[in-house]
Amino acid sequence: MGMELLEQKILSEGKVLSDTVVKVDSFLNHQVDPVLMQKIGEEFAARFSDKKITKVLTLESSGIAPATMTGLTLGVPAVFARKRKSLTLVDHLYTAEVHSFTKNTTNEISVSKDYISKDDTVLILDDFLANGQAVRGLMDIVKQADASLAGVGIIIEKGFQEGGKQLREQDIRIESLATIASLEGGKIDFKNEGATV
Amino acid sequence: MGMELLEQKILSEGKVLSDTVVKVDSFLNHQVDPVLMQKIGEEFAARFSDKKITKVLTLESSGIAPATMTGLTLGVPAVFARKRKSLTLVDHLYTAEVHSFTKNTTNEISVSKDYISKDDTVLILDDFLANGQAVRGLMDIVKQADASLAGVGIIIEKGFQEGGKQLREQDIRIESLATIASLEGGKIDFKNEGATV
């Protein structure tokens, strides 16, 4: 179900750049709306309240604000995986590769072994879900740590791309706060619009 | 004056790697302690309460969590400058160069002209202040935007390096929540220890 406040924000401030790209730099990816981030944190915490989450895991940079707010509500730390072109020091790190189709680059992402362990129940968060590459990289890290995966929280899912479908077929629980069905003709259409404020 | 809660955290979890480097990955630079970030946000907001701040400006990635929390308390947006090796598209961007002495790299940082304007009063925030290169880059962007600078909030200042001294000599108001006088012999010594909890 969509989070109405977020959908309204996407409608009023999102810039549709093509049939597959909407830019939300005014409140999420460059400028950050702290009140909206707080409400997003509360919404993720509520949706995963049945799980005993011990860590929120995201990817720098755009995931950090919502992950911190979610951690605040849940009372647990947030961890952000780091992106680098290539890693020189891989000692004491979990690493995974994340390919970006948009930028046609592959980044290595890494998390220190100090911050996720087998005793953790991890909520993965990310700003966008399109092909699912970033989520898969983060899931890989959770697996390497032998930790439990509570599920995946996504702020904006591109419902017309395959990531969400494929992950759900693997029985991964995904909670997307806004799911875009289509951006065609410059118009943003949501799937399962606005059930929660 | 130092923020006691933060100083305690640095003492208990900071890892002194050399006479000039202390790692605080467990609560600030890799794992994030959301409750501490919230208190840091409240502290910065209180220290700059005499200024009518309209934007908090920081640099990805470690500045994002504290900047978002500060923005939340102040009721204003946070903006994070982006780092890149080189910019292909500089249209509609303010850009500045930031040299890192630690990594011996120069990054270009950029902020969209959409998010800082001449009507803004900007609080610059960063996690560390050492040589002051990042702060100077952010100040350069504020100047390009013809905005007002309210001051600079720093979580951890390395008091034994020159950045803070030089910036204060330029009459820049700097509020550092913890100032490290020395890391010699693996021991963390603060300057003006713990006046605020």
Smallest CA-to-CA distance from A131 within A162, A100, A98, A176 is with A162
What is the spatial distance between Cα B182 and Cα B185, in angstroms, rounded to a whole number? 9
The Cα of B70 is separated from the nearest Cα of chain A by a number of Å equal to 9
Our measurement of the distance from residue B100's CA atom to the centroid of its chain's CA atoms, rounded to an integer in Å, reads: 14
What does the pLDDT read at residue A1?
A: 80
Cβ pair A34:B65 closer than 8 A: no
What does the pLDDT read at residue B147?
A: 98
Cβ pair B26:A65 closer than 8 A: no
Q: Which helix (H) or strand (E) holds B154?
A: strand B148-158
In a domain, B110, yes or no: yes
For residue B71, what are the domain limits? 37-180
Ranges of chain B whose pLDDT falls below 70 = 85-90, 194-197
What does the pLDDT read at residue B103?
A: 80
Please name every residue paired with B85 in a beta bridge, in sequence order, or none if there are none. none
What is the spatial distance between Cα A28 and Cα A64, in angstroms, rounded to a whole number? 10
B32 touches chain A (CB under 8 A): yes
Distances (CA, A) of B146 to B113, B118, B126, B140, B173: 11, 5, 21, 10, 18
Please say whether the dihedral angle defined by the alpha carbons of residues B65, B66, B70 and B73, taken in this order, is positive or negative: positive
What is the spatial distance between Cα A95 and Cα B145, in angstroms, rounded to a whole number? 39
Tokens representing B71 are 């923005």
In a domain, B68, yes or no: yes
Whether the predicted pLDDT of A196 surpasses 60: no
Answer yes or no: are the C-beta atoms of A52 and A154 closer than 8 Å. Answer: no
In a domain, B26, yes or no: no
In a domain, B55, yes or no: yes
Answer yes or no: are the C-beta atoms of A174 and A164 closer than 8 Å. Answer: yes
DSSP string, B112-147: ETTS--TT-EEEEEEEEESS-HHHHHHHHHHHHTTP
What does the pLDDT read at residue A100?
A: 84
Quickly tell me which residue has 């209180």 as its tokens. B46
The Cα of B139 is separated from the nearest Cα of chain A by a number of Å equal to 17
Distances (CA, A) of A184 to A1, A159, A161, A187, B182: 21, 13, 13, 6, 58
A112 touches chain B (CB under 8 A): yes
What does the pLDDT read at residue B86?
A: 55
Q: Looking at per-residue confidence, does B125 or A194 come out higher?
A: B125
In a domain, B194, yes or no: no
pLDDT in tens, A71-124: 999 999 999 999 976 555 668 999 999 998 878 889 899 999 999 999 999 999
Quickly tell me which residue has 């399109």 as its tokens. A130
Q: Are strands B174-182 and B189-191 parallel, antiparallel or unpaired?
A: antiparallel
The count of structural domains within chain B is: 1
Q: Looking at per-residue confidence, does A148 or B196 come out higher?
A: A148
pLDDT in tens, A53-67: 999 999 999 999 999
By percentage, how much of chain A surpasses pLDDT 90?
88
The Cα of B77 is separated from the nearest Cα of chain A by a number of Å equal to 5
Backbone angles phi and psi of B5, in degrees to 5: -55, -40
Residue A96 marked in a binding site = no
What does the pLDDT read at residue A101?
A: 82
In a domain, A143, yes or no: yes
What does the pLDDT read at residue B85?
A: 60
**Mean pLDDT, chain A, whole residue set:** 94
By percentage, how much of chain A surpasses pLDDT 70?
95
Cβ pair A34:B114 closer than 8 A: no
Q: Are strands B148-158 and B121-129 parallel, antiparallel or unpaired?
A: parallel
Tokens representing A78 are 């947030």
In a domain, B45, yes or no: yes
ipTM of this predicted structure: 0.95
DSSP string, B68-99: HHHHHHHTS-EEEEEEESS-S--TTEEEEEEE
CATH number at residue B173: 3.40.50.2020
In a domain, A91, yes or no: no
**Mutation for A interface: B28, B30, B123, most A CBs within 10 A:** B30
Q: Secondary structure of chain A in the HEC alphabet?
A: CCEHHHHHHHHHHCEECCCCCEECHHHHHCEECHHHHHHHHHHHHHHCCCCCCCEEEEECCCCHHHHHHHHHHHCCCEEEEEEECCCCCCCCEEEEEEEECCCCEEEEEEEECCCCCCCCEEEEEEEEECCCHHHHHHHHHHHHCCCEEEEEEEEEEECCCCHHHHHHHCCCCEEEEEEEEECHHHCCEEECCCCEC
Residue of A35, A78, A111 with shortest CB distance to B32: A78
B183 touches chain A (CB under 8 A): no
**Mutation for A interface: B64, B83, B91, B111, most A CBs within 10 A:** B64
